[in-house]
Amino acid sequence: MEVAVRSTPALTTVAALALALAGLPAAADPSGPAEPDLRRFYTQKIKWAACKPDVQNLPEDVTKDKDVSCGKVTVPLDYAKPGRGTIGLALMRVKASGDKRGSLLVNFGGPGGAGVAGLAGAKKDFGYVGKGYDVVGFDPRGVGLSAPVSCGGQPEEEPEADADDAGAVLRQLRETAAKCAKESGPVLPYIGTVNVSRDLDVMRRALGDKKLNYLGFSYGTRLGAVYTAQFPKKVGRMVLDGVDTLTENVQEQGLVGAEGRQTALDNFLLWCTKNAGCVFGEDSRMARHAMVKLIDDLDAYPLKSMDGEEFTGQDVVSVLGTALYSRQAWPALSQALGALLADGDPRALLRMGGRPQGARTEVPEDNSDAALMAVNCADDPDRPGAERVEKEIGRLQTEFEEASPVFGRSMLLPVLLCFGRPAGTDYIRDDVRDVDAPKFLLVGTRGDPATPYRWTEETAERLGSSAVVLDNKGDGHTGYFGSKCVKDKVDAFLLYKQLPKNGSSCAAE
């Protein structure tokens, strides 16, 4: 609650200047509507301590590293009414190995990707840029250890899209939305990129930085773009890699994702059948049929472990969706599929999919999927009514299956699961454009299966002259981890402010 005080014009000017210098939001004009007082969030200090492997499920070499520590930042549940409650956001920091010039906040995508676990797994990849920055990963609100959302079940426990009984699907969708609201608690109505962007600014200040230095991958590019619109004067050195769309709705995004993943799978099977020992033989067309049959058979007759846990065709789809992001994973994927087909052994695939093997964790097993749906729905103002869903579910099912016989089903479900939730914000679609920020770098990869290169071009045009595009001619989702050329150019910009020319490129490697 804001406390009214009597002040002279001179004192008011001094106070406003002090707040501006501190990087805090200044108070509103007394003659206008009152702004919430956020100073207690912007003046907090982070208490860094050793990370806890039993809670965060982190590898031992990370938790024993003296340069790695974990902390928490407190943010309001509702920025418009900060008295409603708070959320603790989990952070991990890898201290700079050289002369520190600030912090570099990293978002690994999703939405629903946990940044603490993400940084633990990718710590070595930031060794060079880490000479000049404390590299900081964070779990966004609703994700990981930051008030995780859940729908109360396993990731695969989702309604089936059945065009023959649209009414039953609608009932399932309503039940799922109600279950998600119940299991997620008070954070669910306040999830979404607009609020996460505001959280970023609180983190920036808590880390002691006047400007935000940021590296966002995939969904993290949407988050970075929103930040440039909300806080243009606080943008430092920003890189957006694997550029997300700011305009296409959830349905359009799902179709693009299905098509991109199917293309990547077809390319993988073509590569596999040209190599000796490929479990699918030598005919890529037959291999595509064999992959569909494998998934259908496992959905109908799942494998069961000694403890009763099932491994289904949709589990295969989930692993494929991750493994196809990088060509470097293709040999391991080929071997894992070989073990599954030859011996009925899914363990290698499970390891590739990152499924926890009995590890302790405070994070619900379905958190990543639940957060992805919650954020995408919150960011999308389109929300079809029951009549439209009943009328169009058959057409949608056909459209997604034609886009991908393997990934169509899994990419349609998040679209349907927005039904029954409140309409999302129109801020991203309407207002994130023509930003007046310092120049920042967008990296688009031509063979990206998840974020097509045209999204890079469209987003750059939308954001205006501040956006500089680097064209990566290679394959895989994002460029930083798969292209030495991209990595060198990104690191040079972040460390030395050497920005490549707009439209310059990196050759496929």
Task: Give per-residue pLDDT as tens, 122-156.
Answer: 999 999 999 999 999 999 999 999 999 999 876 54
Count of structural domains within the chain = 2
Q: Is the pLDDT of residue 7 over 50?
A: no
pTM over 0.85: yes
Measured distance CA(121)–CA(347) in Å, rounded: 20
87 with 19, same domain: the answer is: no
Q: Tell me the sheet residues that pair with 216.
A: 107, 240
141 with 12, same domain: the answer is: no
SS3 of residue 92 by DSSP: strand
Q: What does the block give as tokens for 416?
A: 């349907």
Closest CA relative to residue 103, chosen from 210, 20, 193: 210
Indicate whether 460 belongs to any domain: yes
22 with 94, same domain: the answer is: no
137 with 82, same domain: the answer is: yes
Indicate whether 119 belongs to any domain: yes
Q: Which structural domain, as residue segments, surrounds residue 5? A: 1-35
- Mean pLDDT across the stretch 476-485? 94
> Which one-letter DSSP state was computed for residue 195?
H
Q: What is the pLDDT of residues 413-452, one digit of tens each?
A: 888 888 878 889 999 999 999 999 999 999 999 999 999 9
Indicate whether 79 belongs to any domain: yes
Of 100-109, 266-275, 348-357, 397-406, the range with the lowest mean pLDDT is 348-357
68 with 202, same domain: the answer is: yes
- Mean pLDDT across the stretch 162-182? 80
**What is the sign, positive or negative, of the torsion defined by CA atoms of 389, 429, 402, 328?**
negative
Indicate whether 61 belongs to any domain: yes
* Dihedral of the alpha carbons of 446, 448, 454, 457, in degrees to the nearest 10: -70
Residue entry with tokens 């707040």: 19
> Which one-letter DSSP state was computed for residue 104?
E
Which amino acid, one-letter code, is at 369? D
122 with 215, same domain: the answer is: yes
Per-residue pLDDT band at 479 (split at 50, 70, 90): very high
Which amino acid, one-letter code, is at 82? P
Measured distance CA(385)–CA(383) in Å, rounded: 7
Distances (CA, A) of 249 to 157, 194, 384, 429: 24, 16, 12, 9
114 with 240, same domain: the answer is: yes
100 with 30, same domain: the answer is: no
1 with 97, same domain: the answer is: no
How much of the chain, in percent, has pLDDT values that exceed 90? 66
Q: List the helix and strand counts (H, then E) for the chain.
A: 19, 11
Closest CA relative to residue 91, chosen from 69, 66, 110, 108: 69
Indicate whether 438 belongs to any domain: yes
Indicate whether 19 belongs to any domain: yes
134 with 198, same domain: the answer is: yes
Phi/psi of residue 82, nearest 5 degrees: -65, -15
239 with 102, same domain: the answer is: yes
Q: Which helix (H) or strand (E) holds 213?
A: strand 212-217
β-strands 134-138, 86-94: how paired? antiparallel
Q: Is the pLDDT of residue 505 over 90?
A: yes
Indicate whether 471 belongs to any domain: yes
* Dihedral of the alpha carbons of 156, 396, 316, 363, in degrees to the nearest 10: -30
- Mean pLDDT across the stretch 252-272? 93
Q: Which helix (H) or strand (E) holds 73?
A: strand 68-76
Indicate whether 302 belongs to any domain: no
Q: Is the pLDDT of residue 269 over 70?
A: yes
Q: What is the pLDDT of residues 56-83, one digit of tens each?
A: 667 777 888 899 999 999 999 999 999 9
- Contacts (Cβ under 8 Å, ≥6 apart) of 204: 23, 103, 105, 211, 212, 234
Q: Report whether the peptide linkage leading into residue 111 is cis, meaning its omega lies within 30 degrees of zero.
A: yes
Q: Is the pLDDT of residue 1 over 70?
A: no
Distances (CA, A) of 189 to 65, 110, 185: 37, 19, 9
Q: Is the pLDDT of residue 34 over 70?
A: no
The CATH number of the domain holding residue 463 is 3.40.50.1820
β-strands 440-447, 310-311: how paired? unpaired
> Which one-letter DSSP state was computed for residue 49?
B
71 with 23, same domain: the answer is: no
* SS3 letters across 273-328: HCCCCCCCCCCHHHHHHHHHHHHHHHHHCCEECCCCCEECHHHHHHHHHHHCCCHH
- Mean pLDDT across the stretch 215-243? 98
β-strands 440-447, 235-241: how paired? parallel
pLDDT of residue 30: 39
SS3 of residue 421 by DSSP: coil
**Contact assessment for residue 137 and residue 183, using Cβ atoms and an 8 Å cutoff:** no
